Structure 1
Amino acid sequence: MNDNQPESMELRLRRARYRADHRGTKEADLVVGGFFERHHQDFDEAAMAWFEIVLQEQDVDILAWAFGTAEVPPHLDNAWMQALKKLDYVEVTR
Structure 2
Amino acid sequence: MSESLEDRRKRMHIRAWRRGTKEMDLILGGYADQYLGQLDGADLELFDSLLGEDDHALYQWVTGQASAPVHYAALIAELSARQAGR
TM-score scaled by length of structure 1: 0.80
In the superposition, relative to structure 1, how do residues 75 and 13 fare at CA in structure 2: closer, same or farther (>3 Å)? same
Name 2:13's counterpart in structure 1: 17
| Runs of 5+ unmatched residues, structure 2 | none
**1:66 pairs with 62, 66, 77, which one?**
62
2:80 aligned with 1:85 = yes
SS in 2 for 1:77: helix
In the superposition, relative to structure 1, how do residues 53 and 67 fare at CA in structure 2: closer, same or farther (>3 Å)? same
Structure with the larger RCO, 1 or 2 (CA within 8 Å, 6+ apart): 1
Which is greater in Rg?
1
For residues 3-82 of structure 1, the aligned pairs below 5 Å read 6-78=2-74, 80-82=75-77
* Structure with greater proportional helix content: 2
Deviation at 1:41?
A: 2.2
Deviation at 1:20?
A: 0.5
Range with greater deviation from structure 2 (48-57 or 29-38): 29-38
Deviation at 1:32?
A: 1.1
Q: Which runs of 4+ in 1 moved over 6 A?
A: none
Deviation at 1:14?
A: 0.4
Alpha-carbon RMSD across the aligned residues, in angstroms, is: 1.6
Deviation at 1:88?
A: 5.4
Q: Percent identity?
A: 33
| Runs of 5+ unmatched residues, structure 1 | none
